[in-house]
Structure 1
C-alpha cells in the first residue's frame, strides 16, 4: 500500500497552509502593534487550532481508508493467450478483469510479459462498476523464438476515497511457444501445391506425364509423346491410352543447418538464421507434400538431430524441433559436421547445407562437400549479405566511398571464386539474399527432382 497522488497533493497543500499560519503567528507575536493587531493575533491562533483539528480528521480519514482496503481479494484476472505465436507477427492478448465488490473500483492493469515479447498499450487504466467485469486487449509482437513465459497480472487499485493505492499480482503464469513465421504455408494449406509454389515465385518446368515413377493410365492427349503410349492397353480399349509418370517419391532430404556466428547478422528485424529457418521449413513442407522424407541436423552450436520423416503432418514435428533453436557464437566446422552426419545416416539423400561461407572457409567446406558427395547429393545454400548489393549500387562521391566500393568489389570477387570452386567439384550451389533463400531452395529442389538425380 502506498499513498496516491491525490493524497500527496492534499498533504503538500495542507502542510504549506500550516507553515503559512505558523509563520504569521511568529510575525504577530513579535509585533508591538495596537489592540486591533492583538485581536488579529487571536484570530490567527484560532485558525491555527482549526488547522490542527482538521489535520486530526485528515489523519483519521487516511487511517480508515487504509484499513478498510488492505486487501482486494475479490478482484481477479483471466488471461487468454493465442495457442502459439509467430516470430515478427503481431497478436492480441485478452484479459478479463472481474470486480466482485458491491462498489466501483478504479485500477491500473499491467502484465509481467517475457523479454522476447514486445507489448504495447500497457498499463491500462479503467474503472469497474459493482460486481462487473471488463475485457482488455493489448497487442504483442514476438521478437525472438522459443518459449514465452507470461507472469502474473499486476493491479494497482485505488481505494474508494482515492487516498491510497494497493498493488497486487493475480492470475496465473502461462507459457506460449513462439515459432518461426510459417504463415505463408499455414494460410495456404487449402490451396493446391502447384498454386502455392507459383505464389512464392518458384518457376516449375511444365511437363506432361513425365517422370520416373509410374502414376496411372489415361487417354492419349495432344502433346503426349509416342513413347508414353501403352500399346497393350490401347489394343484392349481400342483407343489411344498413355502412361502417366510422376517424379520419384520416397527420397530422403536432410538439412545441415549452420548455427554459427555468421548467421547472427541482421539485414532487417529478422536475423539471417531466422531467414534460414523459414526457408528450411518451407522447403521441408514442399518435400513432404511431394512424398519425400525430411530430416535435419544442426551444428556449430546446439546440436540437434531428426531422422527423416514422411507425411505432410510431420511438418509439426520439424517445427517443434526447431522453434527454440538459436544461433551461437561458435565457429562453423563443416568437416566435423559432415563426419557426424555420415555416422548417423546410411541411406542416400539430398544433403542441403545452409550457411554463410567466406573465403577462409573454402578449404573446410570443400573437404566436407567431397566427403558427403561420396554417397549423397550435396547442395550448399549460401547466404549473401544485403549490404554488399546495396554498397555496389551506391554512387561513389568521394575518396572514402571509392575505397569502400573497391573493398566491396574485391570481397565480391573472392566470394565468387569460392562458389565457383565448389561448383567445379560437383556441388550444387545457391547464392541467395536471405529474403529470397526459400524461393531458391524450392527451385533447386524441383530441378533435382525433375532431372532424375534424386
Structure 2
C-alpha cells in the first residue's frame, strides 16, 4: 500500500458526489442518481487499481526508469543528468517524476510531468551545478504513474542511493583542451600572442616561403644549397617552443580565499583554473606541478609530464580541504626553496584586499621572484564593481561609492607595487580567471621568460 496514492481528480469527484447527496436530502428525486454515480465511481476506482497493478506487456515490469549521470561531477560546471522512462503497460500513462538530488543543491524544482504511449521510451534531461567538492548522495527516482482514468496513482522507485564524487571542473579542462587542439582558444578569451624574437629551440631548416620572417633566413645554409645547384636556394630556420619547462601552481588555502562568487569560493576557482592551466602546460610539452599551503604545508606534487600525471593532479586537487586560517607565506618560501631547485614559473593564486596585507607578505614574494618567474594572481571584487557602476542618487550612496572606489583603487595599487619589485601580477574577475591565467602563461612562453 506504500506505492498506492489517490489523485486530486478522485477527491474532486467525491466532493461533487457529497455535495449532490446533500442536495438530495432536500430533493429526494436526486438520491437514486447520486447513489448510482457513487457506485460507478467505486467500480471505476477498482478498475483503475487493477489496470495499474496488472503485469506489463510480455510479462515485463509495468514501468522501468533509471538515472544516468557520469561517474563524477565537475565542480562549478553544468553537469548533464538524464532520466530514462519506459512504459511497458498496454495503454498510455501519465507520469510525474521526482528525482531525489543531494541536499547540497538546495533545489525543489526537480519534478517532471511526461506522457508516455504504450511501449514508448522517453528521456528527461536536466543539469546540476555543484559548488563544493566532495561526495554527493543521490536518493531514489520516484515515478508516479496514472492510467487514462486518473483516479489513483502507483509509485515506482529506481536508482536508489547513488553516491557520486564532485571533482574540480574536468569539463572546463576538456573544453579548453579541445579548443587548444583545434586552435580555437580565442573563443574563450585566450589571446593570440605575438612572439618576440627567437626565444625558442631550433628544430630544422626548411625552404623559404612568402610570409616567413626575413630574420629567420639561414644565410650559410642558403649559400651551401646554392653551391650545390639546388633550387629554391633560400632556407629559413624553423623553431619550436622550448619544452620541459617547470610550471608550478601555488594555491593559497587561507581565509582570504573563502570569499564566494556565484556560489563558488575563490579557492575552488583557483583549483579549477589550476587543473586547466596544468593541462595546457602539458599540451605545450612543459612539466606541471602543484603546491597547496595555508598555515601549514598542504600537498606537493613535483612537476612532471609523464603519462597519468594529470590524473594525479586531479586526485590531489579533489582531496584539498581547509579551515581557511591565516596563511603563512614564510612557510611557502621555505618549502619552495627546499623542494623546487630548478628555475620555474610559479603561478601563485591568492588574494590581497589592502596594501598593508601585501606589504606583510612582500619580503617573501620578492625572495621567490629572485629564483623563479613569479606570477601573483588575485581577484577583483566584482560586487564592488557593480556597486560602483550603479548611479548614486543620495548622499549616503555617494559616500558609499567613494569608500568603494578607495578599495578598488587600492587593488590597482597592489598591482603597481608588485610590478615595482619585478613581480608579475594579474588582477582578474573570478569568472575570467582561467582564460586570463592561460594568456599570461602563453605570453611568458612567447617572450622566452621560461
Which band: TM-score by shorter chain? 0.7 to 0.9
Render the CA deviation track for 1:311-368: whole Å, top value 9, x for unaligned: 6985555445446767864443333344444454444322111111122422442243
Output one character per residue of 1:368-426: Cα deviation in whole Å (capped at 9) or x when no partner. 31453454332211212224444555555442233223313332444444444433433
Aligned to 2:121: 134
Match of 1:155?
Answer: 143
| Distance in 2 separating the partners of 1:450 and 1:54 | 85
Partner of 1:438: 434
| Structure 1 partner of 2:100 | 112
Point out the more displaced range, 248-257 or 285-294: 285-294
Cα contact 1:87–1:145 (8 A) shared by 2: yes
1:409 aligns with 405
Conserved? CA contact 1:113–1:119, under 8 Å: no
Which 5+ residue runs of structure 1 have no aligned equivalent? 25-42
Contact kept in structure 2, 1:92 and 1:137, CA below 8 Å:
no
1:422 maps to 2:418: yes
Work out whether 1:77 is the aligned partner of 2:71: no
| Worse-matched range after superposition: 2-11 or 168-177 | 168-177
Map of 2:193 onto structure 1 = 204
Name the CA distance, whole Å, in 1 between partners of 2:215 and 2:48.
93
Map 1:294-443; keep pairs closer than 5 Å.
294-300=288-294, 303-310=298-305, 314-315=309-310, 317-322=312-317, 329-342=324-337, 344-359=339-354, 360-373=356-369, 375-443=371-439
Structure 1 or 2, whichever has the larger Rg, is: 1
Distance in 1 (alpha carbons) for counterparts of 2:54 and 2:291 = 54
The corresponding residue for 2:201 is 213
The match for 1:124 is: 113
Aligned residue number for residue 191 of structure 1: 182
Q: How many aligned residue pairs are there?
A: 428
- In structure 2, the CA distance between the partners of 1:69 and 1:231, relative to structure 1 (3 Å rule), is closer
Provide closer, same or farther for how the CA distance between residues 394 and 81 of structure 1 changes in structure 2, counting only shifts above 3 A.
closer
Q: Select 1:285's aligned residue among 275, 279, 289.
A: 279
In structure 1, how many angstroms separate the alpha carbons of the residues matched to 2:15 and 2:187? 70
Q: Which of 153, 159, 175 is the matching residue for 1:165?
A: 153
Quick check: 2:132–2:264 contact (8 Å CA) kept in 1? no
Taking structure 1 as reference, are residues 325 and 53 closer, same or farther at Cα in structure 2, changes over 3 Å only? same
- 2:16 is the alignment partner of 1:13: yes
Post-superposition offset of 1:292:
0.9
Structure 2 vs 1, CA of residues 297 and 14 (structure 1 numbering), >3 Å: closer, same or farther? same
Q: 1:199 to 1:77 in 2, by over 3 A?
A: closer
Contact 2:131 2:263 in 1 (8 A): no
**8 Å contact 2:246–2:344 — kept in the other structure?**
yes
Name the CA shift for 1:88/1:446 in 2 (closer, same or farther; >3 Å). Answer: closer
Contact 1:90/1:142, CA 8 A, preserved across alignment: yes
Output the TM-score relative to the length of structure 2: 0.76
2:181 is paired with a residue of what secondary structure?
Answer: coil
Deviation at 1:293, TM superposition (A): 0.5
Q: Deviations over 1:150-181 (max 9, x none)?
A: 43221112367543222231245554756523
Given the superposition, is the C-alpha separation of residues 11 and 366 from structure 1 closer, same or farther in structure 2, using an over 3 Å criterion? same
CA distance in 2, matches of 1:189, 1:211: 21
In 1, Cα distance between equivalents of 2:16 and 2:446: 85
